Amino acid sequence: MVGDGVKSATLMDVTITGKDSGDSYGVYARGGKVTLNMVTISKVGVGVRVEKGVLIMNQGSVKGFTGTGVMVGDGVESASLMGTTITGKGSGSTGVYARGGNVTLNMVNISQVEMGVEVEKGVLIMNQGSVKGFTGTGVMVGEGVESAELTRVMITGGGSGTGVYARGAEGMVMRLEGVTISRVGTGVEVEKGTLIMNQGSVKGFTEYGVMVGEGVESASLTGTTITGEGSGTGVYAVGGNVTLNMVNILKVQTGVRVMGGKSLTITGGSVKGFTEYGVMVGEGVESASLMGTTITGKGSGYGIHAVGGNVTLSEVEISKVAMGVEVEKGTLIMNQGSVTDFAGTGVSVGSGVRSASLMGAKIMGDGKGTGVMMMGGDVMLNMVNILKVKTGVRVEKGMLKILEGSVTEFTGTGVMVGSEVKSASLMGTTITGDGKGTGVYAERGTNLTMMLENVTISGVGTGVRMMGGKSLTITGGSIKEVQTGIVMMKGESLMIRENSTINFMGEYGVYVGNGVTKADLVRVMIEGNGKGTGTGIYAVGGNVMVSGGEIKRCKWG
């Protein structure tokens, strides 16, 4: 025992052995500078306890303790341990417990404890070393800690508990550099402050790889690998700005789940082998941005599911899911990238979405499902290529604009427009089926204005079929290798103009239903199959005007 009047005490190569008493201390110092070099302490309640002053502990060990290996009081200025081994007796024991001061653990190995390191105030620095076989928490940082930095530390639990847990406070910084965490319930949990995690890994967790609380200002992960055991969530956040850079997440139920906070930014990296959600964005998130990320499921679940916020996807590759992207509210921007090998829907836009814009994306199914499903808002598809689906684009409400791009190898309908859609326009788009179905189909509505300009439709049963709406205008383009070219059953006007060409093999080139008020065909080229069957233009009602153009190889003009 060292009293508070002692200036310094040094022990070198000393062995201290107790009698397994829970109330005993190996070394107890009330003050001064205490230096322990290669000191071996065993069979005590507390190995080393220092209330004030400075503690330096080099090499040596504390083993078989029932309470705390090393205890640092709130009056201690600094405590430094280097190369020390601390081994407890399991439940109820703590490796290092500090109430204050600057605590530095360099190549310290702690094992067989409930709590590896617990620091309530001050500063914590851990370099290399390990915390193994704990049942509660590997490293715990209290709300009074200013900063905590762990570098190349190995933290291995017993299948439960938390690897690193920080209550934190405003301004607190938790930095993990090359830290490896495994066999825990949760890898890293931070409630307040800032989290920075570079490289390293979290593996073998059952609940959360990294958990970010609502009081966290920002959380940044770079180059980290997060691997579950088929359950749990890779990264879960309810607050702050979350940034994942080149982070790889695999073997989880959900890769990234952010329920609140200002923003989510994911650059590069991947989410693979998930069963439910690759990335999930909650309603409380303001914005989510993904760039160059690969998201690969196991044939089910959602690649990206956003309940709200502004979602931007740039060069994101999504595959092996039931649904690629689903956005319920807010906005969606998708540039380049792809959604492939999905069973249900490639991109789904909910009724609460204000606008959705897709540019240069590739959407390829497995012969079933829908490429793009739109329930509301304004949707723009620019140079988007959709293939191997039952329905290419389906719009139930709002406004649709398709510029260039293609819908090919579909088995049902290329573009389907619902009865509540206000306007739909296609420009320079190629629509190619597999010999049946419909190129563009509009359900019976009243206010729809549909325009097709320089659109090429082929390989379907019917090129364009409009069951109802306000107007259908077709300018240029071609409809070929179809049974019937254009059918309009009801509406105010049908206009086909500017050298549009229709090559049909069945009954009608153009069919005008009795619900159509007027139909104008200007410089339209209509060609039948040349077998003496079919009618170029067949009108049941309305006023039909034909100006210029040509009708040939039909039984009836």
DSSP 216-239: EEEEEEES-EEEESSSSEEEEESS
What is the pLDDT at residue 4?
66
Please give the pLDDT value at position 133.
94
CA distances to 128, 155, 201 from 179, rounded to whole Å, are 9, 8, 6
Could you tell me the two tokens for 516? 């159509």
Q: Which amino acid type is present at position 501?
A: T
pLDDT value of position 439:
98
Nearest CA to 193 among 165, 169, 213, 210?
Answer: 169
Per-residue tokens: 1: 């025992």
Segments of 128-231 assigned E as strands? 130-134, 137-151, 154-157, 162-166, 173-177, 180-182, 186-198, 201-205, 208-222, 225-228
Cβ(346)–Cβ(368) below 8 Å: no
Contacts of 371 (CB under 8 A, 6+ apart): 345, 346, 347, 363, 365, 386, 387, 389, 391, 392, 393, 407, 410
- Nearest 5°: the CA angle 513, 407, 381 is 95
Q: Is the Cβ–Cβ distance between 65 and 38 less than 8 Å?
A: no
The residues facing 325 across adjacent strands are 304, 347
Q: What is the DSSP letter of 376?
A: S
Question: 316, 290 in Cβ contact below 8 A?
Answer: yes
DSSP notation for 43-56: SSSEEEEEEEEEEE
- For 227, phi and psi rounded to 5 degrees? -125, 120
pLDDT score for 318: 99
- Give the model's pLDDT for residue 518: 96
How far are the Cα atoms of 184, 202, 284 from residue 163, in angstroms, in the given order? Answer: 6, 9, 28
* Predicted local confidence at residue 470, as pLDDT: 94
pLDDT digit string (tens) for the chain, length 557 residues? 755 665 777 899 999 998 876 688 989 988 789 999 999 999 999 999 999 999 999 999 999 999 999 999 999 999 999 999 999 988 889 999 999 999 999 999 999 999 999 999 999 999 999 999 999 999 999 999 999 999 999 999 999 999 999 998 889 999 999 999 999 999 999 999 999 999 999 999 999 999 999 999 999 999 999 999 999 999 999 999 999 999 999 999 999 999 988 899 999 999 999 999 999 999 989 999 999 999 999 999 999 999 988 999 999 999 999 999 999 999 999 999 999 999 999 999 999 999 999 999 999 999 999 999 999 999 999 999 999 999 999 999 999 999 999 999 999 999 999 999 999 999 999 999 998 999 999 998 888 999 999 999 999 999 999 999 999 999 999 999 999 999 999 999 999 998 999 999 999 999 999 999 999 999 999 999 878 788 999 999 889 999 998 999 888 75
Residue for token pair 């240029």: 476
DSSP state letter for 455: -
How many residues would you count in the chain? 557
Rounded distance, CA 84 to CA 58, Å? Answer: 6
- Residues 400, 356: Cα–Cα separation, whole Å: 10
